[in-house]
Amino acid sequence: MSTGAASTEYDLVVEAPRLVGPDGERSAKVGVRGSTVGAVEPAHVPMTGKRHLRLADDEVLLPGLVDSHVHVNDPGRSDWEGFPSATRAAAAGGLTTIVDMPLNCLPPTVDTTALRTKQKAARGNTYVDTGFWGGVVPGNVDELRGLHNAGVFGFKCFLLPSGVDEFPPLSGEEFAQAMAEIASFGGLLIVHAEDAGVIDAAPQASGTEYKDFLASRPREAENRAVQRVIDQVRETGCRAHILHVSSADVVDLIAAAKREGLPITAETCPHYLVFTAEEIDNGATEFKCCPPIREEGNRDRLWQGLADGTIDMIVSDHSPSTPELKEVDTGDFGTAWGGVSSLQLGLSAVWTEARARGFGLSDVVRWMAAGPARQTRMWAKGAIEVGYDADFCVLAPDESNVVDPQLLQHKHPVTPYAKRALTGAVRATWLRGEPLDIEEQPRGRLLGREEV
């Protein structure tokens, strides 16, 4: 159906020999008016524009990626990361939108005053568009509706200690109370689902052997906690989202909950899809994350969960710290900070593994752009469609590089992807119709939740 593209002059016309849209990959032209997409037409349709960009034959136009699980740690722990460095890394990796987690910053985002403090730290310092999660901790249930009205995208909670004292976990009663309250105003609860009792009963992690760390976070902890979330969703009707699925055992639980019609979604992360426990060297604490990277067979089952739609999306869970906290000198998995730094590398890491398994770029876009955008109800993000923000990622899908941590934009050059060969190079990122230049002044916007 024609949009009148031939008779309209656009601010920008992008000619893409390959474009990944909601209906798959094709050759197309995109007309941009202001900051939004005004037309998407077959390549043969003539378009005029004040500016014209033709992608190279080895490039593909993707929508800007959306990462709804990023720990920026700013304010309060900006020596770990910060809005400028995190969003530079995002832009370099083809991301145009992130949502920042409510913990590891000081103060944590558990009331509207803390949200305003975080927004003040972010304003004018983000290279990409940035939204915020609120947090649920013991004693703040009365703050949740106010945070919701202030525009947070939902609320994160833990069912076991989070790793920072200022963001404690919820008891069973507090979890039920929080879910009922969030359901009352149609909000979303996102859950770090590991069971404290199971982990308390497991061997405690210490020393340099990865197998000992893996034994300290058994699959059963995740399995039991996910079942608990599902049961509570059934009781309250609250929308819920399972964070960073690492145990493939829970895929069947989530699939059954979806068949039942429960409002539940799930994510996994690049490191669970790329790495395996068998390949992690002793002392390699850059691989430590919670829940942990598991065995090869488990990884294959996670990919199956993505293929059949049980797992809805892939996000980074970028959770950096200083090299000292990662115990890079001692290699002690018991005391090292648990978090993987990968924000800039997620697209190439996932694409490298996905195409080896027979998936296409349309699948990657569904998992890394459309999925997170729909989960957070960002109706103008995650696709190249008329009326959407003109957010683009220009990818050379066949170009390979070896990861040099010193060239990454996040604050500390610590990542498990160091020296790994990855395929797929981001050549340009466009935010709302303009190319992103991380050497220039940041122009990302602060986002609030959109009403349905």
Tell me the pLDDT tens digit for each residue of 212-233.
Answer: 999 999 999 999 999 999 999 9
- Both tokens of 380, joined, read 């103008």
63-377+389-423 under CATH 3.20.20.140, yes or no: yes
Dist. CA 301–CA 346, nearest whole Å: 20
pLDDT (mean) for 195-206: 96
**7: confidence class by pLDDT, cuts 50, 70, 90:** low
* DSSP assignment letter at 335: T
Angle 170-175-179 from CA coordinates, rounded to 5°: 140
In order of 114, 348, 419, the CA distances from 396 in angstroms are 41, 10, 20
**179: confidence class by pLDDT, cuts 50, 70, 90:** very high
- Write phi, then psi, for 209 (nearest 5 degrees): -85, 125
Helix (H, G, I), strand (E, B) or coil at 359: coil
**pLDDT of residue 121 exceeding 60:** yes
| Closest-CA residue to 346 (of 299, 285, 286, 416) | 416
Residue spans per domain, the chain? 5-55, 63-377+389-423
**8: confidence class by pLDDT, cuts 50, 70, 90:** confident
pLDDT (mean) for 414-438: 97
**pLDDT of residue 306 exceeding 60:** yes
pLDDT tens sequence across 347-382: 999 999 999 999 999 999 999 999 999 999 999 999
CA pseudo-torsion sign 246, 104, 227, 147 = negative
Q: In CATH, what is the architecture of 5-55? A: Roll (2.30)
pLDDT at 1 (0 to 100) = 35
**pLDDT of residue 290 exceeding 90:** yes
pLDDT at 450 (0 to 100) = 75
pTM for this model (two decimals):
0.96
